[in-house]
Amino acid sequence: MAELEIFQFPTRADNYGVLIHDPDTGATAAIDAPEAGPIAAALAEKGWRLSEILVTHHHADHTAGIAALKNKYGCTVFGPAREAGLIQGLDEEVGEGDTVSVGRAKATVIDTAGHTRGHVSYYFPEQGVVFVGDTLFSVGCGKLLEGDATTMWRSLSKLAALPPETNVFCGHEYTGANCRFALTVEPENEALQARAREVAANDAKGHPSLPTTIGQELATNPFLRAASPAIQARLGVEGQSPEAVFAEVRRRKDRF
């Protein structure tokens, strides 16, 4: 089995940069390109050379570094076919079910539209890790900027169906604020209470709350817990469809 070393570092205001490295071949990919300077510095620190960029969606805080990194390393840029016109420097267009290789490690592309029209996630089944950009956050999810609640619910459901031990890397560190909102939706959830305490302690020390796991999100994330009777009762949407409950949680978060 191909091993994959993963290096996560903060960049911009609240983004994460992530490098993944196959030690057998030396192949190294950046997940998104929020900013060229910190990614180049991270590569230098690890002694890795960038071979690929795996873009999740077209927003500037995920693509601003592409041109400079391509120029410096000659790397190949993969990204969502449905946003090809919005991502400068894209070399390979990908969509649902496609395979992307980083050295000997192989990712399956999952269409996770909703935050944007063509957003994709990159799932490495052998290594048990998924990079979800701005679709799923720890204890939260992306805003519905270009998709409706039904589309986003379908995307989140695909991620929720991955093995619970799957490690999840997200585009942003929003977990503290997400916990404060989630506790208004499901205050009796003990797993959520414990997560909020853990995140507050991490924040105080400047430690990241990520990666998370699918299992931890299923237990704590109100956007994945539409089936929870407690959430349905609190929001006054008892017995409604999962996507309707999800839509109500999302509406409340937008106003929080």
Is 17 a binding residue for Fe ion by CB under 5 A? The answer is: no
Does 172 participate in catalysis according to the annotation? yes
- Minimum gap (Å) between residue 92 Cβ and Fe ion: 21
Segment interacting with Zn ion (CB under 5 A) among 76-84, 91-99, 129-137, 191-199: 129-137
Segment interacting with Zn ion (CB under 5 A) among 11-19, 127-135, 201-209, 211-219: 127-135
Is 61 a binding residue for Fe ion by CB under 5 A? The answer is: yes
Residue 125 neighbours by CB distance under 10 Å: 13
**Strand pairing partners for 30?**
19, 53
Does 59 participate in catalysis according to the annotation? yes
Distance, in Å, from the CA atom of 231 to the CA atom of 252, rounded to the nearest integer, reads 12
Does 134 participate in catalysis according to the annotation? yes
Distance, in Å, from the CA atom of 205 to the CA atom of 200, rounded to the nearest integer, reads 9
- Minimum gap (Å) between residue 117 Cβ and Fe ion: 15
User: Considering beta carbons, is residue 210 or 235 the nearer one to Zn ion?
Assistant: 210
Distance, in Å, from the CA atom of 174 to the CA atom of 75, rounded to the nearest integer, reads 30
Token pair in block for residue 97: 């079910």
Token pair in block for residue 113: 């539209």
Binding mask 129-168 for Fe ion (x = CB under 5 A): -----x----------------------------------
Which residue, 3, 1, 69, is CA-closest to 31?
Answer: 69
- Minimum gap (Å) between residue 65 Cβ and Zn ion: 14
What is the rounded (10 degree) CA torsion for 62, 64, 67, 69?
-70
User: Considering beta carbons, is residue 37 or 163 the nearer one to Fe ion?
Assistant: 37
Is 134 a binding residue for Zn ion by CB under 5 A? The answer is: yes
Distance, in Å, from the CA atom of 123 to the CA atom of 105, rounded to the nearest integer, reads 10
Which are the catalytic amino acids?
57, 59, 61-62, 115, 134, 172
Q: Applying CB under 5 A, which residues contact Zn ion?
A: 59, 134
